Homo-oligomer: A and B are copies of this chain.
Amino acid sequence: MIKIGLLGLGTVGSGVYKIISENNIKIERKVGTEVKIEKILVNDKNKKRELNINKNLLTEHPADVVENPDINLVVELIGGENPAYKYVLTALKNKKSVVTANKLIIAKYGSEILKAAHQYNVQISFEGSVAGGIPIIRPLKESLVASEIENIYGILNGTTNYILTKMAEENREYADVLNEAQRLGYAERNPHSDISGLDAAYKIAILASIKFETLIDIISVYSEGIKNISLTDISLADELGYVVKLLAIAKKEEKGLDIRVHPAFISKSHPLALVNDVYNAVYLHGDIVGDIMSYGKGAGQMPTASAVVADIIQTAADINYNRSNIYSNESLQKQKIVDINEVNNLFYIRILVNDKPGVMAQVTKILGDNQVSLASVLQKNRLTPIVPLVLITHPVKEKHINKSIIELKNLDDVKSVESLVRVIDKF
């Protein structure tokens, strides 16, 4: 029999409890033996809960789970950094396999956690930590094992994707949609982690660690959020054949790993362009398999709980059959991350200039002097005395574009640089 200890009985925890209770027979058939939830750590045993749950299962003492000799499998669903990380390490040291959906501790302490799992000969699984219900981590580790993955492009944050989709579909401004998303519960009251790109940065770091078999220092992952994307940019993108998405990117380059999160224009005909609302997707290119994409709900109680339960079933079966995890790798090495300033990108630049002869010449001179060449120039809705200019560049290093922008801002006839968004045209 496999005895499970749950840490946390919040949204995802309740979902996991529900799925396991309701699918017990099916799960036991897959695992090959009985599976039982033995203990659940909660903050308050006497709190009123919607779940109909035996009070004897509940405990307020972490040791009843992570040091309980009866328990073989600990499922961490508290979230946040601590005490979650501490509990996970203690569980591993007590020779319990661990399943978690905690992207923060995996992105931040993945190395220590993998080492401990290896040292104590137990398993650690975290399918639920990235892209909720989309099976992505296991396929990355197992089905695609023969293919060298060269790059990963993800839409990994549901909140920002919902906001960008609504802006485009309903012609509404960012702040307006964000307010609504908060009211509907699609965005948190403090949405910083989502809209700043941080949440997506954790997730791409986890995907890249697995597939590139490397350790990513999360602090060195460049991330830029969506709060500067205006409705005007989204409409112009549409006119130019693009949609705007918050992309998480990880690419193997000669100089190291190019890993970053930022808004990007992508072609309407690319499969990622139809990933709308709270959906997530991961688009990969492998040397052997070519391009593949996985799409699905990236968050929410049941999709995440479903990923956690899939991990529980696999791990429980591995414990039952005394199998070791053939995909664990304790010897991960840190990899150099390419400085964002050295990365090449195409850019969309929108500036407002005075409607005077010679202004265009000044602008293009600055760009040319900084090695920025233009793929297209669009002059929009001339409103004398101010003219909006929309420029799309050829590939250029970020440091060169940044220097140009500073110089453009110093020109008397440039009223403002309204926006600067990367254009991803090759996947």
Contacts and interface: CB of A to CB of B under 8 A. Distances in A.
A134 B144 CA distance: 9
A134 B288 CA distance: 11
B321 A303 contact: no
Contacts of A302: 288-290
A139 interface: yes
A326 interface: yes
A293 to B, nearest CB: 4
A9 interface: no
The binding surface of chain A is classed by DSSP as mixed
A208 interface: no
A297 interface: yes
B292 A293 contact: no
A305 interface: yes
A321 B255 CA distance: 39
Contact of A142 (B273, B290, B303, B310): B310
A263 B138 CA distance: 33
Interface string A245-286: 000000000000000000000000111011110010000001
14 contacts: A19-B288, A32-B324, A127-B143, A135-B143, A138-B143, A142-B314, A146-B306, A288-B303, A290-B297, A290-B300, A293-B293, A293-B296, A294-B295, A321-B324
Interface of A: 19, 23, 26-27, 30-32, 127, 132-135, 138-139, 142-147, 269-271, 273-276, 279, 286, 288-297, 300, 302-303, 305-307, 309-310, 313-314, 317, 321, 323-324, 326-327
